[in-house]
Structure 1
Amino acid sequence: MGVDIGGSHITAALVDLETKQILPKTWLRKHVDAHAEANAIIESWAELIINVFSHLKSGDKKIGIGIPGPLNYDTGVSFIKNQDKYDNLYGLNLKDLLSNKIEIPADHIRLMNDAASFLQGETFGGAGAHYDSAIGLTLGTGLGSSWYKKGVAHDADRWNHSFKDSIAEDYLSTRWFVQRYFQLSGKKVTDVKTLVSTAQSNPYIEQLFEEFGTNLAAFLNMFIAIENPEAVILGGNIAQSFFLFEDALRVGLQPQYRTIPILKAKLGEEAVLVGASSLWRENILT
C-alpha cells in the first residue's frame, strides 16, 4: 500500500508494483485534523489504511508512507513542531503507534519524505522512468525539492535556501504569484489556477509567468550544478501551467544545461502513493 499524509489529509491505495499502477477502486482520501490529540490523529490514519487493506485478498500487509518532516524516517520518530500541523506527534514513534492500531509489525511500515516520494514515484513509473538520475520540484503552496540516484529519491530540502533577497519558496510558490499579481494589477487572487483561466485576456499574465520562469531557471541553475541530473521533473499545481513559463525557463538556464530534459510530472496525486509503495521493491532497499 502507498500512503500520502499531508498537512490536512491522508490518501491511500493499493499499488501493483509489477505494473506500477494503483489498483482500481482501492483509492481512499479523507480530511485529517492536524491539530487533534495524537491518538485521534493516529486513529484517523489507521481507519483509512484498514479500509484500503480490506481490498487485499491475500499476502503480507506492507505499507510505504510519504509524509513531510522533520522525522527520523528510519525509526519513525516525529520531530514535527511549530509548523501548524501535527505538533502533538512530536517525539512519538509513528511506526509503533500505527502498527498497534493496524495490527501489523512495525517493520512492515516504511516512511519517506513526501517530496522524495513524489520523485520516487515519477522515476519508478512516471515521467522519469528511463533516467538513472533526476531532480524534482513540487511547485504549489510550498516548494518541495528532491534528488534521485541509484534507485532511491531523497529530500533536497531547498525550500529555505537563500535566493535573491529572501528564500527560494518565496519566489517559487503560490504566494509569489498572489503577491506579484497584486503588485502588477492591484487585484487579489488566491491561486494560480485562477490566473491560468484568464491567460487569453489578462494583460499581466505574460509578464507574470515570464518572471516566474526566469526565477525558476535561476534556482535550477544552482540545483543542477550540485546534482548533475539527467532530467528535471516538475510537479505540483503550478506545473500544470508549464506552457506559460516554459520558454522563459529554458532561456534562463545556463547554456550547458539547456539540453537536459525538463519534464512535467505524469502521475499527479498518484506519484507519492506509487513512490512510497515502491520502497518495497527488493531492488531499492537491498
Structure 2
Amino acid sequence: MTSDKPFRPPADGVVYGALDVGGTHVTGALIAFDQRQPVVRSVTRVSLQPDGTAEHLLSTIASCADSLAGRSGMDWAVAVPGPFDHERGVAQYRSVGKFDALYGVDLRGELSARMQARPGSLTFVNDAEAFLIGEWSHGAASGHVRVVGITLGTGVGSAFLADGTIVADGPLVPPEGRADLLQHDGRPLEDTVSRRAIIARYRERTGQLLDVRDIAARARGGEAVAQTLLDGTFRALGQALDPWLLRFAPTLVVVGGSMTGSWDLLEPAISSGLTGRYAASGVLARAAHPDSAALVGAVQQVRRTERLE
C-alpha cells in the first residue's frame, strides 16, 4: 500500500492525514483512495519517549504531522492506544506503562493548536481496531468474515471483527474487546506479555538490560535464557486468548506491532498456548502491512462517518 513516488491526489482530490501513535514512536502519512484502494504516501516515523512530559509527547506528535506538509482544513485520523476517550479526544492513561503525563489531556485541542496547518477535524480511533480494519480491508485478513487482530508493541492490543464491524462487547469477546484486561496466572496479562515485562524478567535472570529485539536475537543464537523467556511469554498470550478464540470463532488471527519482527519466535510460542480446533490450525498470520494498516484503517473509520466507505 505504500510507495516512495511523489504524492498525486486522486481525481476526487480527497486526501487525509493519518497518525499512528505507538508506545515508542509516532508514524504519519498522507492517504487517499483511488477506486476504493488506499494510496499511502509521505510516510514518516518519529521516535518518542513514552515516559516523557506532556509537552514532549504533544510536540512530537504535532511535529510528525507537520512534516507531512498537509494542507489547512485537512481531515485527520489518529490511531491511539487505550485507555482513551475517543469521542472527546481525551487521554486516560494512568499506570499503564506509557503516556502517564497525558492523563486528562484534551489531545484534540492541544494538537490542533500545535499543528502548523490547522486541521479540519481530528478523529481518534483505537489503534488495534484501526490495525484490524486496515488488514481486513486490504491485507492479510481480506476475505475473512470473523477475524481477531492482536498488536504486540509496548503492550497487547486487540480487536474483534465480524462482517466488517468491530465487536467490543457481549459474551463472545473480553471486556471492551481488550486483551490487555485479561489475566494470566492471576495477574494482569501485561505483567507477562509486554515490552517492560520481557525486559525486566531478562534483567532479573541475567543482570543485563537489553531491549526485546536484542533478547530475540540471543534466542535465535541459541541462548537458553532468552529462548525460555520468549517461549513462556508468548505461550502465556496464547493461553489467555484461547478461550476467547473458541467463543468468537475467527477464521484468522492477524498479528501486528513491532514485536512481529520476531515472528519466527512468536508464532510457534503463541500457537503452543492454543487448544481445541486452534491448536494446529494455522490460524495465526503476520500482518501484510504492519507499518500502514493502522493508518489506513483509521482513515477508513473517518470515511465511514462521512459515508464514503
TM bucket normalised to smaller? 0.7 to 0.9
1:264 to partner: Cα distance:
1.0
Matches within 5 A, 1:133-212: 133-153=146-166, 156-181=177-202, 186-198=206-218, 199-212=220-233
d(CA) in 1 for partners of 2:107, 2:126: 14
| 2:21 is the alignment partner of 1:5 | yes
Distance 1:52 1:175, change over 3 A: closer
Identify unmatched segments of 5+ residues in structure 2: 1-16, 169-175
Deviation string, structure 1 residues 37-86 (Cα, Å, up to 9, x no partner)? 56x755554443244144x6xx9722111012333212323334455765
In the other structure, the counterpart of 1:114 is 127
1:12 to partner: Cα distance:
1.1
The 8 Å contact of residues 151 and 284 in structure 1, kept in 2 or not, is answered as no
d(CA) in 2 for partners of 1:284, 1:217: 37
Distance 1:256 1:284, change over 3 A: farther
Find the partner of 1:30 among 46, 49, 65: 46
Distance 1:117 1:203, change over 3 A: same
The 8 Å contact of residues 121 and 273 in structure 1, kept in 2 or not, is answered as yes
| 2:273 is the alignment partner of 1:231 | no
User: Normalising to structure 2: TM-score of the pair?
Assistant: 0.74
Q: Which amino acid is the alignment partner of residue 264 of structure 1?
A: R
The 8 Å contact of residues 221 and 254 in structure 1, kept in 2 or not, is answered as yes
1:173 to partner: Cα distance:
2.3
Matches within 5 A, 1:76-87: 76-81=89-94
Q: Which moved more, 1:118-127 or 1:173-182?
A: 173-182
1:7 to partner: Cα distance:
4.6
Identify unmatched segments of 5+ residues in structure 1: none
In the other structure, the counterpart of 2:118 is 103
Q: Which amino acid is the alignment partner of residue 301 of structure 2?
A: L
1:279 to partner: Cα distance:
1.6
Deviation string, structure 1 residues 193-222 (Cα, Å, up to 9, x no partner)? 223323233244544443334322211212
d(CA) in 2 for partners of 1:88, 1:178: 22
User: Normalising to structure 1: TM-score of the pair?
Assistant: 0.79
d(CA) in 1 for partners of 2:48, 2:198: 28
- Secondary structure of the 2:85 match is coil
In the other structure, the counterpart of 2:263 is 242
Matches within 5 A, 1:238-277: 238-258=259-279, 259=281, 261-277=283-299
d(CA) in 1 for partners of 2:238, 2:286: 15
d(CA) in 2 for partners of 1:50, 1:67: 18
Find the partner of 1:217 among 238, 252, 257: 238
Q: Which amino acid is the alignment partner of residue 14 of structure 1?
A: L
RCO comparison, higher one (Cα < 8 Å, 6+): 1
Q: Which moved more, 1:205-214 or 1:11-20?
A: 205-214
Deviation string, structure 1 residues 228-282 (Cα, Å, up to 9, x no partner)? 2221112223323232343343343212224362101122232222221222334
Distance 1:19 1:165, change over 3 A: same
Matches within 5 A, 1:271-286: 271-282=293-304
- Secondary structure of the 2:91 match is coil
- Secondary structure of the 1:267 match is coil
Q: Which amino acid is the alignment partner of residue 144 of structure 1?
A: G
d(CA) in 1 for partners of 2:183, 2:163: 28
Distance 1:253 1:32, change over 3 A: closer
